[in-house]
């Protein structure tokens, strides 16, 4: 049980009297409780961050990078603990959590430390000295699906830039954030540089976003949440970075190895039980090969082992909560009601898994572009297959979305795949199952948000630019 927030370098009891239950996604049992902070807690955290900012901003990039690398080392020592914790919180199978949920945050801290050491914070341009300075106090609001990974994606570059941070993690999966606070305390990060306040959006988030002493808000969350934060932050003209929803397409070209392409597509759709903002939830395939694709997808989905996150054979664990499970099941029902053909899966829970928030891997075909399951982010293990007749139609289908976070192209000819990828309106495109690169920019077009995370682009988000005109 946690009863405090981490503010100004120490654990301080919450002013809020309510508690938030953190529930095990597989067993539906309460794992722990955290305090539901209130406006007083939020204000105290901002005050601590504001007071700490001048001295932290004055430290050298090398000194800040040193703290990040020590944090990475401390996180790595607790990797098994973190992976286990997040598998309980979110439901991702432990084998995946160990690599993704616990491994990627370590990489984030190391990679951003490396970027900070080589970043040109000052540059002479003709008679001007152009300097890049920290923007100030940053509020980071993070989601539950990849909780510590998304925290690290914001906190590491903000600290490297010289900013101070107030973190409000998702109330659904906040326990890993407490581990990070313990890590910062253990490495002697100066008081007020990092602050943690747990709570809801209404109880804590609104106060933080509206606060006049906050200079920037960085959110990863739903598009609905992004709209609200943008509106509130606009009252004080804050900088806002938003990483929001997606409805990502995978275009399979006619020269692709279908088994390889569809198998990679299923992995890209179902990772973390579909609770992934970049999930490849729309598979766009040659019409002449639609039946083959459906057969491969059906066999692949039905071969996936769904179950206990800690069973070694499990590929798909539960969804994070009853609310999320019910939302996904509702979408599956809507798809059936709209006339889409259910290839496999469906709204009933997997056999023998009545306890826990499980949903069967589901595939739809015979969909139309106006269907909700084609247009809206479901955030669960639901794939739709869309046929095309030529490449122009494939690109049109891929771009027929309010979102533009991610996409993928599979082809036998890599040059052809790259040429097609250039026509897709998305922040990143995977070519033939290309791997995630933590040094490359990550972010979306359209209503998938604005700004970029990771690499030098992630660092730049937290910097202001000043020009000094010299004689």
State the DSSP string of 201-242.
IIIIIHHHHH-TT--EEEEES-HHHHHHHHHHHGGGT-EEEE
Return the H-helix or E-strand segment holding 72. Answer: helix 61-77
Helix (H, G, I), strand (E, B) or coil at 409: strand
* C-alpha 255, offset from chain centre: 32
Residue of 163, 171, 269, 277 with catalytic role: 277
C-alpha distances in Å from residue 229, one per residue of 80, 205, 219: 34, 9, 8
Rounded to 5 degrees, what angle do the CA atoms 382, 387, 390 make?
140
**Sheet order of strands, 122-125 included:** 122-125, 128-134, 463-469
Q: What is the DSSP letter of 449?
A: E
Helices (H) and strands (E) in the chain, counts: 16, 22
**Sheet order of strands, 239-243 included:** 10-13, 4-7, 194-196, 164-168, 137-141, 216-220, 239-243, 449-450
Distance CA 83, CA 127 (A): 52
State the DSSP string of 304-356.
--BS-TTSTT-SB---S-HHHHHHHHHHHHHHHHTT-EEEE--SSPPTT--SS
Choose among 84, 91, 39, 63: nearest CA to 176. 84
Q: What is the DSSP letter of 403?
A: E
Residue recorded with tokens 């105290």: 44
Contact 172, 323 (CB under 8 A): no
Can you read off the two tokens belonging to residue 443?
Answer: 């972010």
Distance CA 429, CA 411 (A): 13
Residue of 171, 243, 377, 461 with catalytic role: 243
Choose among 116, 216, 101: nearest CA to 166. 216
If one counts every other C-beta atom within 10 angstroms of the C-beta of residue 375, the result is: 16
Write the Ramachandran bin of 192: left for phi over 0, alpha for psi from -120 to 50, otherwise beta: left
Q: What is the largest CA-CA distance in the chain?
A: 77
Query: Is 243 one of the catalytic residues?
Result: yes
Distance CA 174, CA 85 (A): 10
CB contact burial 170-198 (16+ within 10 A = b; e otherwise): bbbbbbbbbbbbebbbebebeebbbbbbb
Query: Is 277 one of the catalytic residues?
Result: yes
Active-site residue set: 243, 277
């Amino acid at each position: 049980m946690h009863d405090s927030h981490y503010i100004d370098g120490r654990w301080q009891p919450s002013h809020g009297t309510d508690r938030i239950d953190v529930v095990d996604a597989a067993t539906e049992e309460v794992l722990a409780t955290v305090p539901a902070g209130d406006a007083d807690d939020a204000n105290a955290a901002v005050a601590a961050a504001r007071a700490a900012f001048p001295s932290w901003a004055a430290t050298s990039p090398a000194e800040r990078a040193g703290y990040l690398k020590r944090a990475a080392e401390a996180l790595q020592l607790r990797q098994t603990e973190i992976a286990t914790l997040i598998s309980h919180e979110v439901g991702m199978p432990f084998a995946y959590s160990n690599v993704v949920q616990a491994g990627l945050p370590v990489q984030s801290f190391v990679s951003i430390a490396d970027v900070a050491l080589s970043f040109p914070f000052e540059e002479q341009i003709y008679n001007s000295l152009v300097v890049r300075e920290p923007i100030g106090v940053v509020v980071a609001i993070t989601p539950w699906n990849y909780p510590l990974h998304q925290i690290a994606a914001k906190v590491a570059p903000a600290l490297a830039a010289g900013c101070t941070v107030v973190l409000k993690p998702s109330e659904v999966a906040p326990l890993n954030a407490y581990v990070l606070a313990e890590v910062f305390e253990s490495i002697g990060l100066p008081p007020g540089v990092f602050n943690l306040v747990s709570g809801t959006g209404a109880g804590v988030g609104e106060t933080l976003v509206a606060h006049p002493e906050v200079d920037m808000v960085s959110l990863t969350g739903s598009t609905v949440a992004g709209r609200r934060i943008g509106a509130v932050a606009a009252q004080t003209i804050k900088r806002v970075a938003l990483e929001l929803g997606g409805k990502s397409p995978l275009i399979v070209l006619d020269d692709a190895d279908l088994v390889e392409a569809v198998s990679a597509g299923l992995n890209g759709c179902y990772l973390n039980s579909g609770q992934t903002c970049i999930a490849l939830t729309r598979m766009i395939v040659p019409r002449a090969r639609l039946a083959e694709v459906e057969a491969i997808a059906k066999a692949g989905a039905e071969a996936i082992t769904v179950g206990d996150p800690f069973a070694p054979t499990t590929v798909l664990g539960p969804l994070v909560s009853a609310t999320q499970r019910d939302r996904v099941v509702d979408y599956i029902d809507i798809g059936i009601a709209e006339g889409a053909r259910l290839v496999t899966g469906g709204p009933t829970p997997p056999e023998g898994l009545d306890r826990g928030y499980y949903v069967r891997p589901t595939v739809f075909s015979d969909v139309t572009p106006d269907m909700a399951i084609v247009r809206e982010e479901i955030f669960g293990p639901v794939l739709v297959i869309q046929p095309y007749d030529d490449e122009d139609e494939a690109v049109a289908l891929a771009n027929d979305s309010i979102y533009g976070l991610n996409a993928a192209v599979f082809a036998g000819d890599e040059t052809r795949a790259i040429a097609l990828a250039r026509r897709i309106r998305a922040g990143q495109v995977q070519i033939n199952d290309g791997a995630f690169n933590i040094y490359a920019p990550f972010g979306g077009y359209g209503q998938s948000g604005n700004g970029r995370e990771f690499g030098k682009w992630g660092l730049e988000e937290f910097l202001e630019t000043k020009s000094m005109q010299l004689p």
